[in-house]
Amino acid sequence: IVMPITTPAIKVDAVKRRGANVVLMGDAFDQASEFASGLVAERGATYLHPFDDSEVIAGQGTVGVEITQQITTPADYVFIPCGGGGLLSGMAVFLKHAWPGVKVIGVEPADAACALAARQKGERVTLDEVGLFADGCAVARVGAETHRLIEQYVDDIITATTDEMCAAVKDIFDDTRAIAEPAGALAIAGMKTYLAANNVGNATVIAVLSGANTNFDRLRYISERTDIGERREAILSVTIPEEPGAFRAFCRAIGKRNITEFNYRSSDETSARVFVGVTVRPQTDDVSELTSRLLDHGYSAVDLTDNEMAKLHVRYMIGGKTTACDGIERIFRVEFPERPGALLMFLDALGADFNISLFHYRNHGAAYGRILVGVTGIGSNDRRLDNTLDSIGFRYWEETQNPAYDAYLKPLEL
């Protein structure tokens, strides 16, 4: 059984306990699948595809059979997670036969939505990039047979963000005291968003919880993102006066809200930037009302709630702006497979050609690690660093224009 190197250890160990010979290869499913195909050709073996096979699809579809055996009244909606499409297509075929009036809705990670891309394009497509937070659904290209069945039997395909999946993990824990993996909670995350957006009421709704293979050390990251996923917390960057009593006055302006986080560092004589987390009411315009209230009190506020760089890095780096930066600084956010030697590989690729002026890495217990790196000595049109990052093969984004960088990390101009 071939699995990606980034597969959670709890899943690998569970397969080994059943007597399997596990081979770890590649950073994602598609690389593992390619290696498995090579073994088939080399050994004359049979390739059992994890989703694009009619018998596998039928086997996964028996989940639908079990559901119809457990409840006597047909459901109105069934939400099903989708990676390569085996579970979704198999269940959809049976449910549409057993309950013709049911709406079958597939849910994909927002950063790995290959079935939705295929539906929009009218044919299968290969995603250029695949997010791996929901590793159980991290597939770049939906299967050929699964795509055909999805187009015939699935009513709608929607997506869920990382924060929404984290919130769904918490919902499941609160209800059942069980801990789902992100891909396992995917259907619940999509269901919550869909029902709220479409004002669905007085309906029988089912969501499939498909797995619980998550490493314990990953729970820290999930718990940190839960309140944002539930839209119960807003992250703001606020400029306040640099004077005695300014923090107390700011808290008065916030009103009767809980401050969940407050990071502050004096930077000049007249003003200071604070990174603040505040509780808000979900499914309302509370964040807009809060920023307007702050504006009325003379504060400049920027909403960073959906800013990945701010949530992953900047909140842990509040320390003031440097004056020791030589030349233009460019900032990049890099995602790399969390495996032994990957971080050193990244640093070796940079070598001595670039001067690193900023570096932040934090282990989230996830399949992929995140780095924030600043480099000086290269101009905005200099492609040397971009070419180096391209050659490594890690996903990256330039964040030099990110408002969180400008507020908290950008070097002071002397």
Q: What is the DSSP letter of 297?
A: T
Residues composing the chain: 414
Q: CA 77, CA 154: separation in Å to the nearest integer?
A: 11
Give the DSSP H or E segment for 373. strand 368-376
User: For residues 210 and 84, is the Cβ–Cβ distance under 8 A?
Assistant: no
- For every residue of 78-138, which 3-state class applies, written as one string? EEEECCCCHHHHHHHHHHHHHCCCCEEEEEEECCCCHHHHHHHHCCCCCCCCCCCCCHHHC
Contacts of 342 (CB under 8 A, 6+ apart): 336, 369
What superfamily in CATH does domain 314-408 come from?
ACT domain (3.30.70.260)
What predicted TM-score, i.e. pTM, was given to this entire model? 0.75
Q: CA 75, CA 103: separation in Å to the nearest integer?
A: 8
Place of tokens 């394009």: 121
Q: What is the pLDDT along the chain (414 residues), one digit of tens a residue?
A: 999 887 888 889 999 999 999 999 987 788 899 999 999 999 999 999 999 999 999 999 999 999 999 998 999 999 999 999 999 999 999 999 999 999 999 999 999 999 999 999 999 999 988 887 888 898 999 999 999 999 999 999 999 999 999 999 999 999 999 999 999 999 999 999 999 999 998 999 999 999 888 878 788 888 878 877 777 888 999 988 877 777 778 888 887 788 888 887 666 677 778 888 888 887 677 888 888 889 999 898 999 988 988 888 888 876 666 665 666 888 999 888 766 667 777 877 877 777 788 888 876 656 677 888 888 877 777 788 888 888 888 889 999 999 988 888 888 764
Domain boundaries, the chain: 1-48, 51-226, 231-306, 314-408
pLDDT for 220? 81
CATH topology of domain 51-226: Rossmann fold (3.40.50)
CATH topology of domain 231-306: Alpha-Beta Plaits (3.30.70)
